[in-house]
């Protein structure tokens, strides 16, 4: 087995060097406390293998949580959702390596804090983060769903006419928020709806394109993992 | 003492209602349930109570009510939720936006008040709802609301006002809503034919070889859609023999050069290419990085060749080009949109 040195992986996979905070620099968690699901060893194994980078974007955020669309609790919920997603993706050997946090100030976000499906597309057309992670925009409310994403999304963030990221609202528990995140990013990585409510990609057994998900939607199959690993966003082992 | 309210797991909730408002069902589906009257009655009681229940997603409950019952009572319930600071921002914003589905008069009255809410998300959602339904009666309150808002929200309200005036010509009162309220404007420029001496001077200002194009100095044109002067040079062969189909590989019909401000220096900015097509020809104006900037067509019309192209570059103000090539003379008209940029904005990093 490869040597799982924290310093080594931090340097070669994450581009950071000592002094290191495992929580901040290795997991990418910057908001409050969090009981991490994955052990450090598991996390290092995953992020040094086939992985993706994630680019969470807080739409309408203001630094210090003063006057913006997000509270500190919201930011911690998003962080917890990422941790849940990491656990779910670990089943199929896909790591979530780097977390690039960014935000759109209220003055620029305009009406994008409350969006429907069409506005979700406009949001991803008008904004992107300058990094190699999948853009995930968190808004105050997606009025006609919990989230939207394109299936097999583009790795060209400037591509016009389609969603170049996922758009989500923050759900009422860490688990649900994490499943929704894993589901929408799963779409972006090429996954269609499943026909099994216990699958992360939910139940669309009637084939109407509308997938139901609940708190039991926790599983991913080997085949789904292979699809995810073939997406252009996936990084090689480091 | 308040009456005991039903809980999400109690038998008063029909399976359909449970499914519509459950906090455990969520995510990637279009949430538009339509409930029966008995379920709506239960739902109204639930929403009016303001009680928080972890088994119930109040946003989903708000959507379920709006989709199932359009009435004054539901309007009042939704307006109450939108204005209630104890509700989450997600629930309040969805309630405000859902009011657009209520009877117009009731909805308009509620939204006119909510658009002046102290909650930014409620103001945004209310403005979006008003844009879809409001009548001229709302114009005055929108004007009042605009005075206290930031520019981005002012624009949202301007869209509402513009939509009202476009739906109701009497309310426009001589205004052009698109131009005046949304601040959009466009200008039409005619390409100006240059005299040969001026064309020669400009051509001399280009240092790089221009892709083998041999410009016809009698037919060079200035085209300015913005402050920077562009010059179109057509190839001599095109001017002499402007057939559409010149072989399967197409041709370079000319180029557009851009003059640097306050200098005599020009650089080739676009290459004008013509490609054969079954019904005439396609024109593609290509940037120097290979990106297509304008795309369109050439077609024969009344003995002339009609030119039509649109700007397709991402992140730019849109420009349309229309014109014709007749008797060796090119006339071109550029319709340039201004103040309507759609540029991709880079998000701001949050420091670790």
Residues in B touching A183 (Cβ below 8 Å) = 27-28
CB pair distance less than 8 Å for B23 and A172: yes
Residues in B touching A60 (Cβ below 8 Å) = 120
Interface probe for A, chosen from B54, B62, B81, B90 (most Cβ of A below 10 Å), is: B90
When pLDDT is averaged across residues B9-31 and rounded to a whole number, the result is 80
CA distance A200 to A92: 12
DSSP 8-state class, residue A19: S
CB pair distance less than 8 Å for B93 and A157: no
Question: In a 10 Å sphere around its CB, with 0-12 CB exposed, 13-18 middle and 19+ buried, how is residue A156 labelled?
Answer: exposed
CA distance A147 to A123: 13
- Per the prediction, chain B carries an average pLDDT of 84
Query: Is the model's pLDDT at B261 over the cut of 80?
Result: no
Residue partners of A193: CB distance under 8 A and separation at least 6: A201, A202, A203, A204, A209, A210, A211, B28
pLDDT at residue number B7: 47
Q: How far is A121 from chain B (nearest CA, A)?
A: 13
- ipTM value: 0.84
Q: How far is B301 from chain A (nearest CA, A)?
A: 33
The model's pTM is 0.77
Strands B292-301 and B304-311: antiparallel
Residue tagged 């060209």 (tokens): A156
Percent share of chain A, pLDDT over 70: 96
Q: How far is A74 from chain B (nearest CA, A)?
A: 11
Q: Which residue of A has its CA nearest to B97?
A: A143
3-state secondary structure A114-173: EECHHHHHHHHHHEECCCCCEEEEEECEECCCCEECCCCCCCCCCCCCCCCCEEEECCCC
Strands A51-59 and A134-139: parallel
Q: Which of A103, A106, A215 sits opposite B347 (nearest CB)?
A: A103
Residue partners of B225: CB distance under 8 A and separation at least 6: B187, B189, B319, B334, B336
Q: Which residue of B has its CA nearest to A139?
A: B90
CB pair distance less than 8 Å for B349 and A102: yes
B60 touches chain A (CB under 8 A): no
Where residue B97 falls (left for φ over 0; alpha for ψ -120 to 50; beta otherwise) is alpha
pLDDT one-digit tens code per residue, B44-86: 999 998 878 888 999 999 999 999 999 999 999 999 999 999 9
Percent share of chain B, pLDDT over 90: 38
Report residue B34: phi and psi, to 5°: -125, 115
Residue tagged 């402050």 (tokens): B227
B150 touches chain A (CB under 8 A): yes
Residue B62 · residue B47 · CB < 8 Å: yes
Residues in A touching B347 (Cβ below 8 Å) = 57, 102-104, 127-130
Residue B177 · residue B162 · CB < 8 Å: yes
Lowest mean pLDDT among B68-77, B190-199, B256-265: B256-265
B153 touches chain A (CB under 8 A): yes
Q: Which of A86-100, A161-175, B49-63, B331-345 has the highest mean pLDDT?
A: A86-100
CB pair distance less than 8 Å for A176 and B28: no
Crossing angle of the two packed helices B104-114 and B72-82, in degrees rounded to 10: 10
Residue partners of B68: CB distance under 8 A and separation at least 6: B33, B34, B35, B39, B40, B43
Residue B48 · residue B77 · CB < 8 Å: yes
When pLDDT is averaged across residues A39-54 and rounded to a whole number, the result is 95
Cα maximum dimension of chain B: 93
Residue partners of A180: CB distance under 8 A and separation at least 6: A81, A146, A147, A168, A171, A213, B26, B27, B28
Interface probe for B, chosen from A27, A73, A102, A111 (most Cβ of B below 10 Å), is: A111
Question: Sign (positive/negative) of CA torsion B132, B138, B143, B147?
Answer: negative
Residue A149 · residue A143 · CB < 8 Å: no
């Amino acid at each position: 087995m490869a040597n799982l040195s924290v310093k080594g992986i931090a340097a070669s996979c994450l581009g950071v060097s000592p002094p290191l905070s495992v929580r901040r620099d290795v997991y990418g968690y910057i908001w409050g406390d969090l009981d991490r699901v994955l052990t450090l060893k598991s996390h290092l194994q995953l992020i040094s293998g086939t992985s993706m980078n994630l680019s969470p974007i807080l739409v309408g955020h203001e630094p210090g949580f003063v006057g913006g669309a997000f509270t500190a609790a919201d930011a911690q919920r998003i962080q917890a959702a990422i941790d849940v997603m990491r656990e779910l993706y670990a089943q199929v050997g896909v790591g979530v390596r780097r977390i690039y946090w960014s935000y759109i100030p209220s003055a620029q976000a305009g009406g994008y804090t409350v969006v429907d499906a069409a506005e979700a597309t406009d949001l991803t057309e008008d904004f992107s983060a300058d990094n190699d992670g999948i853009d995930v925009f968190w808004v105050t409310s997606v009025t006609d769903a919990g989230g939207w994403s394109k299936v097999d999304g583009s790795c060209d963030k400037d591509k016009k006419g389609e969603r170049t990221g996922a758009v989500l609202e923050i759900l009422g528990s860490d688990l649900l928020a994490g499943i929704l995140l894993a589901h929408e990013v799963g779409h972006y990585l090429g996954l269609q709806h499943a026909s099994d409510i216990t699958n992360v990609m939910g139940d669309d057994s009637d084939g109407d394109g509308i997938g139901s998900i609940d708190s039991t939607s926790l599983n991913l199959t080997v085949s789904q993992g292979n699809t995810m690993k073939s997406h252009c966003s996936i990084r090689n082992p480091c | 003492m308040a009456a005991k309210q039903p809980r999400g797991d109690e038998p008063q909730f029909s399976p359909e209602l449970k499914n519509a408002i459950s906090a455990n069902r969520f995510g990637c589906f279009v949430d538009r349930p339509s409930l029966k009257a008995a379920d709506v009655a239960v739902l109204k009681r639930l929403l009016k109570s303001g009680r928080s229940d972890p088994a119930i997603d109040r946003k989903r409950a708000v959507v379920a009510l709006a989709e199932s019952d359009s009435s004054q009572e539901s309007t009042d319930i939704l307006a109450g939720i939108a204005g209630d600071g104890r509700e989450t921002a997600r629930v309040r914003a969805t309630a405000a936006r859902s009011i657009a589905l209520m009877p117009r008069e009731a909805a308009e009255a509620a939204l006119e008040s909510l658009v002046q809410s102290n909650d930014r998300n409620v103001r945004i959602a209310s403005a979006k709802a008003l844009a879809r339904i409001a009548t001229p009666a709302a114009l005055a309150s929108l004007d009042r609301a605009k005075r206290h808002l930031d520019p981005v929200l002012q624009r949202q309200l301007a869209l509402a006002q513009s939509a009202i005036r476009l739906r109701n010509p009497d309310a426009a009162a001589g205004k052009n809503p698109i131009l005046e309220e949304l601040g959009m404007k466009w200008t039409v420029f005619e390409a100006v034919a240059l005299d040969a001496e001026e064309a020669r001077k400009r051509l001399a200002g280009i240092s790089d070889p221009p892709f083998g194009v041999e410009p016809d100095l009698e037919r060079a044109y200035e085209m300015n859609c913005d402050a920077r002067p562009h010059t179109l040079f057509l190839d001599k062969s095109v001017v002499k023999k402007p057939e559409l189909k010149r072989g399967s590989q197409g041709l370079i019909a000319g180029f557009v050069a851009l003059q640097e401000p306050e200098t005599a220096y020009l650089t080739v900015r676009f290459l004008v290419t013509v490609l054969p097509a079954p019904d005439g020809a396609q024109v593609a104006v290509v940037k120097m990085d290979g990106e297509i900037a304008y795309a369109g067509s050439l077609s024969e019309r009344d003995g002339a060749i009609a030119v039509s192209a649109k700007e397709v570059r991402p992140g730019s103000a849109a420009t349309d080009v229309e014109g014709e090539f007749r008797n060796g003379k090119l006339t071109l008209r550029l319709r340039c949109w201004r103040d309507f940029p759609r540029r991709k904005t880079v998000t701001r990093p949050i420091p670790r």
